[in-house]
Amino acid sequence: MGRRYMEEVVDPDLVPETDSGHASPAPLVSPPSATAPRPCHITFGGMTPTEALRVEVRAWLERLGALTATMTGGRVLIDVLDQGRSERRYQVRMELAMPSGAVVVGLDHPSNRPHEDIYVAIRNAFRGARRELEVYFREHPPT
């Protein structure tokens, strides 16, 4: 029920917007390289982008280790919810492109609930991604 991965489907909510409000043509798939870091486009919704948060996302991608070794691209959106309230809450959505489909951790994932601490929201989303990647590899074993 909580498992979400789709065959070659891109979540339109994860497409970054430009200042004009139109979606930018960010590529989902990057060319593979043995020494390059895992390709991932990080965007921010309703907040100012910070390098510290980008570093945190990249660190979590590295922590996923072998589970992301075959990743061909990805998108991570860090979004602010309840902007008008005194308490800000954050949620992270992601799509990790794999050779046989995409692993998606969206708003409906059970371990991806909004949180008032942005780093906890990132941690929760990546823990959900780890579980989804484990399921993905059980169903699509490497050859």
pLDDT in tens, 42-64: 999 988 999 999 999 999 999 98
Could you tell me whether strands 73-81 and 101-105 are parallel, antiparallel, or unpaired per DSSP bridges?
unpaired
Q: Which residues pair with 129 in a beta bridge?
A: none
pLDDT confidence of residue 129: 93
pLDDT confidence of residue 85: 64
User: What number of helices (H) and strands (E) belong to the chain?
Assistant: 2, 5
Alpha-carbon distance of 65 to 6, in angstroms, equals 22
> Exposed (0-12), middle (13-18) or buried (19+): which is 28, by Cβ within 10 Å?
middle
pLDDT confidence of residue 82: 73
From first to last of its 143 residues, the chain has per-residue pLDDT tens of 344 333 333 334 444 444 444 444 443 333 343 334 568 899 999 889 999 999 999 999 999 888 888 888 999 999 998 766 677 889 999 999 998 889 999 888 877 788 889 999 999 999 999 999 999 999 988 77
pLDDT confidence of residue 29: 38
pLDDT confidence of residue 114: 85
Fold of the domain built from segment(s) 38-139: Double Stranded RNA Binding Domain (3.30.160)
Alpha-carbon distance of 98 to 55, in angstroms, equals 22
